[in-house]
Structure 1
Amino acid sequence: MMFIIGLDLGQAQDYTAIVVVEKKEYMYEPKPAEYHVRHIERPPLGTPYPDIVERVKTIFTSPQLKGKTTLVVDKTGVGSPVVDMLKRAGLNPLVAITITGGNTVNKDDDGYHVPKRDLVTNLQVLFQEGRIKVAKELKLSSILVEELLNFKVKIDIKTAHDSYEAWREGVHDDLVLATALACWYAEFRHPIPRIRRL
């Protein structure tokens, strides 16, 4: 049994999202792993980062998760100092992910650099294959499903670059990204070549 906490850190106008996913593997059956969303939380807008760290610590050290959980954090933007706070709080193992607009996944001393395309596409595939299960009794389950359905790919015809965003303004993507972080790490945590810094 393996649990992953996906943490998407919000800023002034964005929610922070905390999602706990359980990876269920079938050792004696030729079935791919399933991902069961066990907890979804969206602290109120403007919640200070020290309070977010304390809340994540409470979840991480709960009897159900203690010793069998990895914390996967979006380090993009404001994430770097908060990642440091989470490390100082003793939340290990901790995996930091910087979301990029690139095409390849890289790993360095600061964690993984993952294209948003990889995060979102992996989650959409899991959803379409029925490999991600979201319990309806979870308070925010319908919002998570709505966020996933609202995501769209936007292609710039001039540059051929793609971007992923909610299809209408005012729709948040924090729950999708927190879930995507957890599922991407659980699905692809095989060794990735490290890149050297110059």
Structure 2
Amino acid sequence: MGVMETEQQQAPVFLTRELRYVVGVDLGQSSDPTAIAVIEHRKGVIDSGSAQDRHCGLTAHLQKPAEYADVRYLQRLPLGMAYPAVVQHVADLLARPPINNATLIIDETGVGRAVGDIFVDAGLKPKRVSITAGNEESGHGVDRWHVAKSILISRLDAMLHTGMLRFAADLTEAGAMAEELKDFRRKVSDAGRATYAARTGRHDDLVLAVAIAGWWVTRPHRCASMDYYKRTH
């Protein structure tokens, strides 16, 4: 029993150094539902020392950097749900701790700026993404970006393969997400350009909601504690 306790104490643990939440919303159209994904993004270190050594601050040499993006929430809203109702639903979601300070990213590609403006008028301060062809990413003003679908999907793919992106086991839409990932296809045109889309008759709304949130997570950002310091000094 003593040996087992020692092994358990020395099992590597993840120590969080920075924590933030990102909410991705893929806005639906007449044939596609709106999808929402919440990612908990944590950066820190994996510590291989014992609990006693960690308590005494003796494990700095046993730490290595680590980063995780855990999908904590996935939801599809009813097909045809009115956009003002979608905005209110997202507002209610963002009012819940601990995501009440989350960054909101919306995909307004197919619905246009007018729908994005409803989020702005509601005081939600979204980061607005238009998904494009090609392989480029560009900023347009303070809170609007054009991002190639190839960038979104390659980031998502990389996060999955490195183990950075993880899905909570109890997600309601976990099965649907797994099916969407399997149905997602890469096609190369005669001109050599790659396009990404779900198979005919399939949806990709959950994939895109996670992808735009994951894209934001992997962009360079300032530490929240530094922003707070600048606001209060």
TM-score normalised per structure 2: 0.76
Matches within 5 A, 1:22-171: 22-26=40-44, 29-67=63-101, 69-92=102-125, 94-109=126-141, 111-157=144-190, 159-166=191-198, 168-171=199-202
CA distance in 1, matches of 2:91, 2:112: 16
The 1:102/1:84 distance shift into structure 2, 3 A limit, reads same
Q: SS of 2:38's equivalent?
A: strand
Structure 1 position 181 matched with structure 2 position 212: yes
Superposition RMSD on alpha carbons, in Å? 1.6
The answer to whether the Cα contact below 8 Å between 1:100 and 1:116 also exists between their aligned partners in 2 is yes
Corresponding residue for residue 13 of structure 2: none
After TM superposition, give the deviation of residue 149 of structure 1 in Å.
2.4
CA distance in 2, matches of 1:112, 1:26: 28
- Post-superposition Cα deviations, 1:133-163, rounded to whole Å, max 9, x if no partner, equal 1112111012112212221210012x11110
Q: SS of 1:133's equivalent?
A: strand
Q: SS of 2:163's equivalent?
A: coil
CA distance in 1, matches of 2:193, 2:218: 25
Structure 1 position 17 matched with structure 2 position 35: yes
Q: SS of 1:148's equivalent?
A: helix
The 1:146/1:51 distance shift into structure 2, 3 A limit, reads same
Q: What is the one-letter code of the residue matched to 2:104?
A: L
Of structures 1 and 2, the one with the larger relative CO (CA 8 A, separation 6+) is 1
Which of 1 and 2 has greater Rg? 2
Higher helix share: 2
After TM superposition, give the deviation of residue 13 of structure 1 in Å.
0.5
Query: Which of 13, 22, 28 is equivalent to 1:4?
Result: 22
CA distance in 1, matches of 2:214, 2:220: 10
TM-score normalised per structure 1: 0.89
